[in-house]
Amino acid sequence: MADRPSKDAPAPNKDDSQKRQKDMIADHFDKLSRSKADGKKVVYTFVPGNLTELLLALDLLPVLPEINALQSGMRKKSGGYIAEAEKAGHSEDVCTYVKCDIGMIKSGNIGPTGQKLPEPDLLLLSYTGCFTFLKWFELLQHEYNCPVVMLHVPYQPDGVATPAMREYIVEQLENEVIPALEKLAGKKLDYDELSRRLALSRIAEDDLVAVWESAKHTPSPIDGYFGGVYYIGPIFSSFRGSQDAIDYYRLLRAEVEERIRLGQGPTTPDGRMDEQKYRLVVEGPPNWTSFNDFWHMFSKEQAVVCASTYTRVGGLYDQGFRHDPSQPLESLADYCLGCYTNLGLPSRIDLIEKYVREYNADGFLINSVKSCNSFSAGQLLILREIEKRTGVPGGFIESDLVDPRYFGKANIENRVQSFLQMLDARKTRMINAPMRSGPAVHV
Amino acid sequence: MQTQTILHSTPDVRAVLAAAMPSGAMEVTVGIDLGSTTTKAILLDTSGQIVGRGITNSRSNYEVAAAVAREEALTAVRFSLLGRVLESAGQAAQQLAEPLTEAFRLELYMGELAALRSEILGLLEKPGHAAHRAALQPAAEAVLDKMAQTASSLFGPGAGRKSDFFRDLAGAAYVAEAEALANVKGSGVPFERLVGLYDRAILDVETRLESRDFGVLLEKAAMHVLPVGERASWLREVVRAVGSSRIAEVAFVGTGYGRQTLPFPKETVRSEILCHGRGAHRIFPGTRTVLDIGGQDTKGIQVDDGGVVTSFQMNDRCAAGCGRYLGYIADELNLGLHELGPLALQAKKQVRVNSTCTVFAGAELRDRLALGQRREDILAGLHRAIMLRAMSILARSGGISDQFTFTGGVCNNPMAVKVLRELVAQTYGENITVNTHSSSIYMGALGASMYALDDHHAGRGGILPTFAQG
Amino acid sequence: MSSSDFVSQVAPIKAADPCGALLQRCRTLVEDHELNHVKQWKAANPGAFVMGHMPIYAPRALVEAQGGLAVAVFGGGEEVDIIRGDSYFQSYICHIPRSTIELGLGGQLDVLDGMMFPSICDVIRNLGGMWKILFPNKYSAYVDLPQNFAQGIGGKFYAHELGRIAEEMHKFGAQKLEPEKLRQAMRDENLRRAAIGKLDELRRTEPHRCLASEAYLLVRAGGGLLAKEHAAMIEEFVLAAKKRDTRPRDNVRVVLVGAFCEQAPVDLIRALEKAGCDIVDDDFQLGMRMIEGDLDAEAEDPLLALAMGFIKKGAAVASRYIADEVKGKSLIDKVKASKADGVIFAAASFCDPALLDQPMLEVAMDEAKIPHTSFKYAENTGQFQVIREQAGAFSDAVKLWGQVE
């Protein structure tokens, strides 16, 4: 087992579903690069609370700057982009997704596939669970001078989506968002088409939930965090409500079920992990600039993540939510309301506790990212509460989304190892009962 | 310094040694803690008793540092064996232990001094020194001769050395002799160049690995110390037997700062969090919370009643509040690190300092001095600011509810300890026991060695690496 | 007592000053981290509900209408040692939530029956959630201020939100909300706004009679007072200040922006003044004058009127989505209205709203040829040497720049 992985570690996930996803993404960016020629309109929007079915129903092409930013991180471009933005006066204190995006624009707006991204015809500001979104699109409006339409999704401080909240969103959709999109598309919204798309979403959502819950098996056939970020790709981005998404999730689910049948673990940077020494629940987004190194720190110790909250930012499907073709706008509203980062801290703690118990985790780990206060503010209280409620030990590491300056590899690895060794020592202790402590001695 | 001693009995040396080593060898587990500034080794016998310890500067070469600390600990083991044998021969024999140890250290020192000499003379051969060779060479030789003549004053019972590191001892002596030489009017001795030679040479001397024959060295040392007369033959037998007895390192665990770069096999490496927690708990078995402030990081650790870590927190990316911060402050004030605490204790009032940012430490200090604030008062405020940060990390890790132990380099700073005691009492009540220990620097190595012992008992003792060879 | 060594050196309040006693009272109120004055109020009004709130803006009139007292909780400044507070927040998060938690866990906020957390940013929002866990017996409300500004949509939503909070406060012991009482509370709120308006006017026209650092104390001191009392106190100050015999100074006039949430230490404001800046407008304690103009206190539906006050008259602050207006226009208007020579961007370190907004405002200032400079602070910043030098250089440059122009 190599101790020093590989700056150029092979892409860890080489399953067929993964290849298929890659093709889907390539195809989407092709479409984007041809959009002006094809006369298609482009809408920039955000992952949490995205209204993809609505955009697809109006034949509009979505671009997700968050995904571009994380891709820039994985392609080691983000450091330069961030520097570019900071040179232009952006504070070093603020979200690096924003700065990475601004820097990318200033550097020619070349997307993850190497093709130039089209400028937005409209910015659909779905303000869901993240304050920075608001400023991000104000900044983009400054860059592009294009129209913005705002959808303010109220926050769920008590984990309850009230009728007033739902109504507020539906009214915004009816009176502001849909008219703006219709104007851009040059046609009226066909509600039947919207419902048809929502029905397609449901199918893929069912399969995704089956994939998440497969991690309750031992060994887990998936890694619900490092692997999970690949699994959420299509459904959190431009493909929900499309046949492509259905095909992808069907394939993925089949792969996972086959692994369960064979008693296999997921593909990781250290090969297939059939032996799993630790089962973890992880809170917080991953680091993207050193994603493989980060994963490797876990996979080389045979630690598998069975559930994570980051993979729920685009919807809590495993908690029962499904898009509902019979009430399309209400259903979109409920979707937006229920994204993980739109939930109050007490609800987040309840959910994590549930994951720790249901997935039979040995440990709970927080990756606290500097950029994202929506996730990070309060995480130390989450840590304490989860330890208190479940007795499962917690660990805490700090990094950033796409700022390579904030990925201290030695430091992070030190903490990860200390954490895993602590789990080990406690397990050993439970099996072997009292440790030889001995009387006080003098050094 | 030969000693006249009357021995009351001369027990059978082999029998005494055999009793101490039933398996024919002294079995020890080895724990090495490679810190950013010092490297420590602790050896335990299989009953868990500490039988040896060693420490050295980490410097640039971790492998050498690990080897030196381990060698020193092994030496200590032999001395503890020697002690056991002498003990069996009564008090008078026992009193020989210290002079023997000191004489042994002197032998080591002389060996290193010889290495220093050859290094310096070697340097002078290099073309860069051609222009000054004529003046430098005799001066350097004179300095080294003087050092060799006076070396014995550094050793012996009650010599009161400032340090046990060759670098420190030899450095102080070298500079003093060089200064004395340069101060002689018209000597034309270039002091700076002379010292420059030492600075360059010591790096190589320190990273030079010499396999040390304990038996030979001990016998040499014994020549100076042992009494003459009829009983000496028994003592020489003791020295020979101890020198040649076998020490078996049965298990090994390594820990320390930046473990990824440690020269240890993966399966022998344990987190320093686990090791510090366990070591501190071993010394103070009532401990449930440990605060360790080292050069590079601050750790708050909770342990259970067996010393196993249940949760921990470290300072984040920002190094504010670590030992390093005090280092910056000391540099800024042109003081030694050990002078900060005592100076701060003289404060008349505490200046309020809110920032512990290492980046701004110097600027803040200068501003405050410029405002006319007293150095002592500012230092008091700085100590408080650092300990407030540490208190936060402690609170993060779960706070203090029972006995509490403070370890790490900063625990040797009296002001830091004073402020910490105040803050602990203020935050968690007057009833918390706060432990500090002058040897707390060894806690990590002790814990490592305990984990090695666990491994040994479980039949999977890690193999000790050989480290770099000469 | 102010403990900063720096303050005692530079800022004695003169006994002969007609405003001296009043300012001393303000300072005592601002530094009353134990909230003794609130405890006294509560003792005199048994059973009344005391509702704390975070910056920027909170519907204080609602609390007063229900027989309660709203208390602005704007952090712990530089006086509070942070131990437990720091244990909950990473180093990249601003300072105000730390000191607020510290005060809460230290018992200094025990007098509060509840806390409101307005939607300023994700940190304050999450602090609201933490509050629910750390203080389960207290009422804790997240106030989701609308980002949609249509009466029938955002207005309706916010009015509903206010109604919900009123009911919940009632459940926790506040009086039931009655329309006429709300109208009266809104009238009182208007009085306060008018008084602050006079104070602002005085600063704009005769900055030597009212320093920004004094206005800061006056407005902040009212954080735990009823609107009417606060209004009377400010009116009293304005009258007294006009009798001051201070002389105009040769200072540059600046607008300070970005300090709306975590408050700058008052010594920092003094440092700017010492460096030759008259701060003629700012956004310290913006919430007290967030509504630019009167609330419609005579409306049929006062709850909707209270909501619409925010919707239609809410100041353009960084946490508010600026839908139709050009970015920076509001700041340019402020600069013109106050005849300022330049802008100082002063944001709390790690303040997302202010720091994300700033680059856009800077561009707008450049385009409008308004000189500007920027720095960051924390509520517990103790050293202002660098900031003072920077502000001094800025004020000199502005003077020169003015001559060149």
State the DSSP string of A195-216.
HHHHHHHHHHHHHHHHHHHGGG
Q: Which two tokens stand for residue B385?
A: 């600011």
* Domain B285-436 CATH (choose: 3.40.30.10, 3.40.50.620, 3.30.420.40, 3.50.50.60): 3.30.420.40
Position B408 pLDDT exceeds 80: yes
Dist CA C322 CA C155 (whole Å): 16
Q: Which of C149, C157, C360 to mutate to test the interface with A (most CBs of A within 10 A)?
A: C157
The CATH class given to the B1-96+226-278+441-470 domain equals alpha beta
**Banded pLDDT at A432 (limits 50, 70, 90):** low
Q: Are strands A394-399 and A363-369 parallel, antiparallel or unpaired?
A: parallel
> In Å, how far from its chain's centre is CA B77?
16
Coil, helix or strand at residue C186: helix
Question: Is there a contact between C360 and A155 if contact means CB atoms under 8 Å apart?
Answer: no
- ipTM here: 0.94
pLDDT, tens digit, 9 for 90 and up, residues A377-410: 999 999 999 999 999 999 999 999 999 999 988 8
pLDDT, tens digit, 9 for 90 and up, residues B363-394: 777 878 887 888 899 999 889 988 988 998 99
What average pLDDT does the segment A286-302 reach? 96
Position B33 pLDDT exceeds 80: yes
A415: which chain B residues are within 8 Å (Cβ-Cβ)? 314
Position B121 pLDDT exceeds 60: yes
| pLDDT score recorded for residue A17 | 92
* Cα angle for residues B69, A442, B156 (degrees, 5° grid): 60
Question: Is there a contact between A135 and C318 if contact means CB atoms under 8 Å apart?
Answer: yes
Dist CA C386 CA C394 (whole Å): 12
A283: which chain C residues are within 8 Å (Cβ-Cβ)? none
Query: Residues near A226 by Cβ (< 8 Å), separated by ≥ 6?
Result: A12, A268, A286, A291, A294, A295, A298, A299, A305
pLDDT, tens digit, 9 for 90 and up, residues C113-172: 999 999 999 999 999 999 999 999 999 999 999 999 999 999 999 999 999 999 999 999
What average pLDDT does the segment A362-388 reach? 96
- Please check whether residue C112 is in contact with residue C52, taking contact to mean a CB–CB distance below 8 angstroms: yes
| pLDDT score recorded for residue C5 | 36
**Banded pLDDT at B259 (limits 50, 70, 90):** low
Neighboring chains of B (3 or more beta-carbon pairs < 8 A): A, C
Question: Is there a contact between A408 and B266 if contact means CB atoms under 8 Å apart?
Answer: no
**N residues, chain B:** 470
What's the burial of B241, exposed, middle or buried (CB within 10 Å: 0-12/13-18/19+)?
Answer: middle
Q: What's the predicted TM-score (pTM) here?
A: 0.89
A414: which chain B residues are within 8 Å (Cβ-Cβ)? 258-260, 271
Q: Which residues of chain C have pLDDT under 50?
A: 1-11, 404-405
**Banded pLDDT at B208 (limits 50, 70, 90):** confident
What average pLDDT does the segment A321-334 reach? 97
Provide the residue ranges of all domains of chain A, joining segments of one domain with +.
16-431
Greatest CA span in chain C, whole angstroms? Answer: 64
| pLDDT score recorded for residue B470 | 35
Residue A215 backbone class (left: φ over 0; alpha: ψ -120 to 50; beta: rest): alpha
Tell the residue number behind the tokens 């803040």, with chain if given: B364
Question: Is there a contact between C86 and B392 if contact means CB atoms under 8 Å apart?
Answer: yes
Query: Out of A427-441, B334-348, C266-280, which region has the weakest mean confidence (pLDDT)?
Result: A427-441
Give percent of chain B with pLDDT exceeding 90.
31
Question: Any idea of the CA torsion for A349, A163, A237, A374, to the nearest 10 degrees?
Answer: -40
**Banded pLDDT at A431 (limits 50, 70, 90):** low
- Classify the C-alpha dihedral C348-C349-C352-C354 as positive or negative: positive
- Please check whether residue C243 is in contact with residue C18, taking contact to mean a CB–CB distance below 8 angstroms: yes
| pLDDT score recorded for residue A3 | 46
C161: which chain A residues are within 8 Å (Cβ-Cβ)? 164
**Nearest chain B Cα distance for residue C83, angstroms:** 5
Pick the more confident residue, B55 or A194.
A194
**Banded pLDDT at B294 (limits 50, 70, 90):** confident
Pick the more confident residue, A142 or B29.
B29
**Banded pLDDT at B256 (limits 50, 70, 90):** confident
Question: Any idea of the CA torsion for A103, A104, A106, A110, to the nearest 10 degrees?
Answer: 170
- Classify the C-alpha dihedral C221-C222-C223-C224 as positive or negative: positive
* Cα angle for residues A163, A165, A168 (degrees, 5° grid): 110
| pLDDT score recorded for residue A243 | 96
pLDDT, tens digit, 9 for 90 and up, residues B132-154: 888 889 999 999 999 999 998 88
Backbone angles phi, psi at C79, to 5 degrees: -90, -20
**Nearest chain C Cα distance for residue A347, angstroms:** 9
Position B464 pLDDT exceeds 80: no
Dist CA B35 CA B272 (whole Å): 10
Domains B1-96+226-278+441-470 and B285-436 share a fold: yes
Q: Taking CA atoms, what residue in A is nearest to C142?
A: A157
**Banded pLDDT at A7 (limits 50, 70, 90):** very low
What average pLDDT does the segment B98-110 reach? 87
| pLDDT score recorded for residue B295 | 76
| pLDDT score recorded for residue B6 | 52
Position B98 pLDDT exceeds 90: no
Question: Is there a contact between B49 and A441 if contact means CB atoms under 8 Å apart?
Answer: yes
Question: Is there a contact between B266 and A3 if contact means CB atoms under 8 Å apart?
Answer: yes
Neighbour order of strands in the sheet with C50-53: C69-72, C50-53, C114-118, C139-143
Q: Taking CA atoms, what residue in A is nearest to B266?
A: A3
Position A161 pLDDT exceeds 70: yes
What average pLDDT does the segment A348-364 reach? 98
Instruction: Give the containing element (helix H, strand E) for A105.
Output: helix A96-106
| pLDDT score recorded for residue C232 | 98
| pLDDT score recorded for residue C1 | 34
Neighbour order of strands in the sheet with B289-293: B309-314, B298-303, B289-293, B404-407, B434-436
Provide the residue ranges of all domains of chain B, joining segments of one domain with +.
1-96+226-278+441-470, 106-206, 285-436
**Banded pLDDT at B32 (limits 50, 70, 90):** very high
Position A241 pLDDT exceeds 50: yes
Neighboring chains of C (3 or more beta-carbon pairs < 8 A): A, B
How confident is the prediction for chain A on average, in pLDDT? 92
A-facing residues of C in 267-286 (CB < 8 A) are none
| Bridge partners, A285 (sequence order) | none
Query: Out of A311-325, B49-63, B421-435, which region has the weakest mean confidence (pLDDT)?
Result: B49-63
Dist CA C356 CA C141 (whole Å): 26
> Is the CB of B311 inside 8 Å of chain A's CB atoms?
yes
- Classify the C-alpha dihedral A348-A350-A353-A354 as positive or negative: negative
Q: Taking CA atoms, what residue in A is nearest to C129?
A: A345
Pick the more confident residue, B317 or A33.
A33
| pLDDT score recorded for residue A287 | 96
